[in-house]
Amino acid sequence: MSLHLSLGATTTTRTLLVLLQLMLGAYLLISSSACAKPIQAPDIRKCQKAIATSPNATVDNTTMTLDCCLPWHDIPRRNFSWDDYPVTHAKVRRAAHKADEEYIAKLNRAYELMKALPDDDPRSFAVQANIHCAFCDGSYKQLDTNITLHVHFSWFFMPWHRLYLYFHERILASLLGDPSFALVYWNWDNQILSNDTDHIGNNMPRYFTVKDTPIFDAKRDRDHAPASELLRINVVSDAAITDTPEEIAEENLNILYQSLVTANTADMFMGGAYRQGTDLSNSSVTDAPLGGSLELNVHSGIHYWTGDPNRKLRSDMGVFTTAARDPIFYAHHANVDRLWDVWTTLPGGCRKDPTDEDYLEAEFLFYDENQNLVKVKAKEAMDLSKMGVSYEAATEGDELWRNFEPKAAAGNEGNQVEYAKGKMGIKEISTAVDNNAKAIALGSNFTALVKLPAKISTTAGDQSSLSANDEQLDEVLVIQGVDLSRDDYVNLKVFVNMPTADSNTPIYTAEYVGSATIVPSPEAGKRLFTNVKMELGDNLKRLGLQDEDMVVITIVVDAISGSPVSIRGMKIQYQSTMCSTSSST
């Protein structure tokens, strides 16, 4: 990769600083990837039990030890090849709320057959659920290391779950003897309100709530059976917060807008790099991987909303350990997968998979419908059509969040930087964070002034260089070294120039930058150490703040069981939104 920079005549010192920052970023990227390697399939014979403890639950309140180890004895192994999995029938995944009785019967029959298989059959529901548990709770180590292999909180979140659904759906289809059988997607992003609550996207599909059917799960929030409540993507721990359906819909739309529309690079949307040697609980400030906005801002809230609040860690759906024991998990993830697909078609930015070899060549393990253990690479997840899978369009619902226009909050006018400084005594946060930086406890609310570097003002430049004009650079907020317990639901909501924001502040305004919600994935007391990145440029534009030197950033913390959260620092940086032809960033 060549760092060819073309500087215009208007170059200023601050412009140079921005360029230096971009060069340094590119250098660090190259140097850190040069010695790393893609994740290899783990040694499936070496497995340990998953241990989950809950800090605060009223039912079932002991340490949960789960054996999620996967079967391998006498199981044939193969490397994935498309030749072995030709597309013979199109699989069209439809919106769950539009399913007819015939499909519902079929879906139930498929899970009935899967649940009837013996627990050591790799196609059984027990093993299917354990595949998810095994790769999120410490059952397996990265090959030849002592580091846990984990498929959330990084760029593997999307390809891993897509391949997981692919094989899961093939098994269901083969058990039914119907090669065209496809999963449904739970269309919770669809905010079209109607009195016909049996047929709206954003509640729990009615047929999943019928007791004693194969797709029912008793370990859910009982208040969230259909029609009683709209799904709230925003995680609120205070059950007393009641909003009108319109307010819930507006909040959902802004979350979706901030997560899918303004997050316009793979880094922000899909998540950061995870390679051989990446340790989620022991990374440094500068290399901590991050989860993308679809995972942390959108997907996690549905897990929280669905799980049983009276059970340890809100199982089943509320904790990665048990989430896939609820058949609705697969409908939830089909929608996550659909939204990934929709995201690639939205205008602007670079909406493609990373081109880094450590992404493309990473290996995962799944079982197919013929009970083979299949080693498959992340790159095979890039093209749904190769899988014969497509999603029935949900255009009307999608358009609501695509075209959402968050407005500045009423009553939040005036100079918020001056107000925060003068009235609240808020200080500027150091943006030069390194691995020795001291932890900053967030409490339930943390506000700081953050410097806004000047935007580069040069124009021109070809795609292979780092030169860029205004259109190609976007302000991104990085919350560095977020350190939190993996035993607890933690929700961080971020606001710009709203220093008085708290957990009751509505999130449908332009001041709302995004959220990061961590679904618990306990692993014997291990912590999660991560950087959280959020697109900020769109907020600044809508609030007219692009030319400021400084903004106020407020992080509202909701840790359901109250475990403390700290960060090391915050900074605003520029990120190129162009697709680089020479290297992925």
**Positions that interact with ligand C2O (CB under 6 A):** 132, 152, 161, 299, 303, 320, 323, 333
152 is catalytic: yes
The one-character DSSP state at 472 is G
- Are 290 and 153 within 8 A, CB to CB? yes
Please answer whether residues 346 and 402 qualify as being in contact, where contact means their C-beta atoms are separated by less than 8 angstroms. yes
> Closer to ligand C2O at the Cβ: 152 or 325?
152
Q: Residue 39 or residue 323: which is nearer to ligand C2O going by CB?
A: 323
**Smallest gap, in angstroms, from Cβ of residue 323 to ligand C2O?**
6
We find the least distance from the C-beta atom of residue 383 to ligand C2O, in angstroms, to be 21
Compute the distance between CA of residue 5 and CA of residue 7 in angstroms, rounded to an integer.
6
Active site residue 224: no
Catalytic residue among 132, 150, 168, 332: 132
Q: Residue 516, by phi and psi: left (phi above 0), alpha (psi -120 to 50) or beta?
A: beta
For the bound state, the minimum distance from the C-beta of residue 547 to ligand C2O, rounded and expressed in Å, comes to 40
| Side-chain-side CA neighbours of residue 245 (13 Å) | 14
The active-site residue, picked from 333, 446, 495, 529, is: 333
As measured in angstroms, the least distance from the Cβ of 195 to ligand C2O is 30
Smaller CB separation from ligand C2O, 123 or 132: 132
- DSSP secondary structure letters along 51-96: EE--SS-SBS-S-EEE--PPP-TT--EEE--GGGS---S-EEEEEG
Nearest-approach distance from CB 135 to ligand C2O, in angstroms? 8
By beta-carbon proximity to ligand C2O, the closer residue of 70 and 350 is 70
Which of 97, 150, 168, 299 is flagged as catalytic? 299
Active site residue 157: no
| CA 393 to centroid of chain Cα atoms | 22
- Asked if residues 127 and 121 have their Cβ atoms less than 8 Å apart, the reply is yes
Judged by beta carbon, residue 297 or residue 509, the one nearer ligand C2O is 297
Q: Which of 152, 168, 224, 332 is catalytic?
A: 152
DSSP 8-state class, residue 265 = B
Structure tokens at 173: 């289809």
Spot the catalytic one: 97, 168, 224, 303: 303
Query: Residue 320 catalytic?
Result: yes
Question: What pairing do the DSSP bridges indicate for beta strands 64-66 and 50-52?
Answer: antiparallel
Minimum Å distance from CB 164 to ligand C2O? 8
CA separation, residue 1 to residues 30, 272, 460 (Å) = 9, 20, 19
CA 290, 133, 564, 285: dihedral to nearest 10 degrees?
-30
Q: How far is the CB of 519 from ligand C2O (least distance, A)?
A: 7
Q: DSSP strand E in 525-568: where?
A: 527-535, 550-559, 566-567
- Please confirm, yes or no, whether 97 is among the known catalytic residues: no
d(CA 260, CA 272): 16
Q: With 0-12 CB in 10 A as exposed, 13-18 as middle and 19+ as buried, what is 410?
A: exposed
Token pair of 548 as six digits: 């400021």
Q: Which of 97, 161, 224, 332 is catalytic?
A: 161
Q: Judged by CB, which is closer to ligand C2O: 299, or 325? A: 299
Q: Which is nearer to ligand C2O, 323 or 552 (CB)?
A: 323
Indicate which residues carry an active-site annotation.
Answer: 132, 152, 161, 299, 303, 320, 333
